[in-house]
């Protein structure tokens, strides 16, 4: 188990969005535990995750699957809150399974937990509907923290992948000069400031410190940004802003 996860190398836990439970402070207490479906083609890894998460009173592993095809069937039967899933598996991979899981269990949120640090996998996972993308080098404690954060509506991405994500978006923009005929919704100067910090991988707490405003104010700005752009997640907002050249990352 320890070998599969390894230890955090590089940015500290404060660099991971929602790295501590106080990052989702203010969320209403849950009356029921977060229901998690674990999907990985290695039985020992699945068992290791179950053991780790069994110590979390607010998290309940309701099932497991060994590949994407089985994951879709289990998601339809169990209707989990969170699907913790590997990217590359036999029969049907995690990215391919994402879309089908969102169809059979629309309320389920998907976290990719993988050894794959390929930019294409990350981008495809986001397009397929994943809300989080974490490398297996993260510590076991951070897995539970990520589950809570995603359950509370946040997106999660390993800091080491954040720059790769932005690089992929920038390359995508450079490959096409397509421009929308309809003007993009106007964001306020403050909303643009918040969006730029979101794009760097900052969580709400760190954005609040950077801009000297409250965390609730940051949450309100993020909500307004998503409403104006008619999007559903922070990651989608960054993709949209860069595609429409609202936001440029050098």
What pLDDT shows up at residue 249? Answer: 53
Q: Which segments of the chain does DSSP mark as H helices, in order?
A: 2-5, 43-53, 68-78, 94-104, 119-128, 140-151, 159-174, 189-199, 204-211, 215-229, 234-243
Which pLDDT tens digit goes with each residue over 97-121? 998 999 999 999 999 988 877 767 8
What pLDDT shows up at residue 12? Answer: 36
Q: Which residues, in sequence order, are bridge partners of residue 157?
A: 133
Which pLDDT tens digit goes with each residue over 152-184? 888 888 766 766 666 666 665 555 444 444 455
Q: Which CATH number fits domain 176-243: 3.40.50.150, 3.40.630.30, 1.10.10.10, 2.60.120.10?
A: 1.10.10.10
Q: Which fold has domain 2-159?
A: Rossmann fold (3.40.50)
For residues 141 and 144, give the distance between their C-alpha atoms in angstroms, rounded to a whole number: 6
108, 80 Cβ separation under 8 angstroms: yes
Measured CA to CA in angstroms, residue 130 lies from 12, 229, 240 at distances of 23, 19, 16
Closest CA to 152 of 55, 28, 57: 28
Question: Across residues 204-223, what is the average pLDDT?
Answer: 93
Which pLDDT tens digit goes with each residue over 6-26? 333 333 333 333 333 333 444
For residues 68 and 100, give the distance between their C-alpha atoms in angstroms, rounded to a whole number: 9
Question: Across residues 197-222, what is the average pLDDT?
Answer: 90
Would you kindly state where each structural domain of the chain is located, as residue ranges? 2-159, 176-243
For residues 41 and 81, give the distance between their C-alpha atoms in angstroms, rounded to a whole number: 21
Q: pTM to 2 decimals?
A: 0.59
């Amino acid at each position: 188990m320890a070998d599969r996860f390894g230890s955090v190398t590089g940015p500290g836990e404060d660099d991971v969005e929602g790295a501590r439970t106080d990052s989702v402070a203010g969320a209403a207490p849950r009356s029921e535990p977060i229901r998690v479906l674990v999907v990985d083609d290695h039985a020992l890894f699945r068992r290791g995750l179950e053991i780790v998460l069994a110590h979390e009173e607010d998290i309940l592993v309701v099932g497991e699957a060994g590949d994407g095809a089985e994951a879709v069937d289990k998601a339809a039967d169990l209707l989990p809150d969170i699907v913790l899933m590997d990217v590359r598996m036999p029969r049907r991979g995690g990215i391919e399974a994402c879309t089908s899981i969102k169809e059979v269990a629309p309320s389920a949120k998907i976290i990719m937990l993988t050894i794959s640090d390929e930019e294409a996998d990350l981008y495809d996972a986001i397009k397929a509907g994943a809300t989080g993308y974490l490398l297996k080098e993260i510590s076991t404690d951070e897995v539970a923290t990520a589950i809570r954060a995603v359950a509370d509506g946040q997106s999660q991405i390993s800091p080491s992948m954040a720059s790769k994500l932005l690089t992929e978006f920038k390359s995508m923009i450079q490959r096409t000069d397509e421009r929308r005929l309809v003007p993009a919704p106007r964001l306020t100067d403050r909303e643009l400031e918040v969006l730029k910090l979101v794009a760097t991988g900052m969580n709400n707490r760190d954005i609040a410190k950077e801009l000297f405003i409250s965390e609730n104010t940051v949450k309100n700005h993020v909500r307004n940004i998503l409403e104006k752009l008619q999007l559903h997640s922070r990651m989608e907002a960054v993709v949209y802003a860069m595609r429409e050249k609202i936001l440029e990352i050098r």
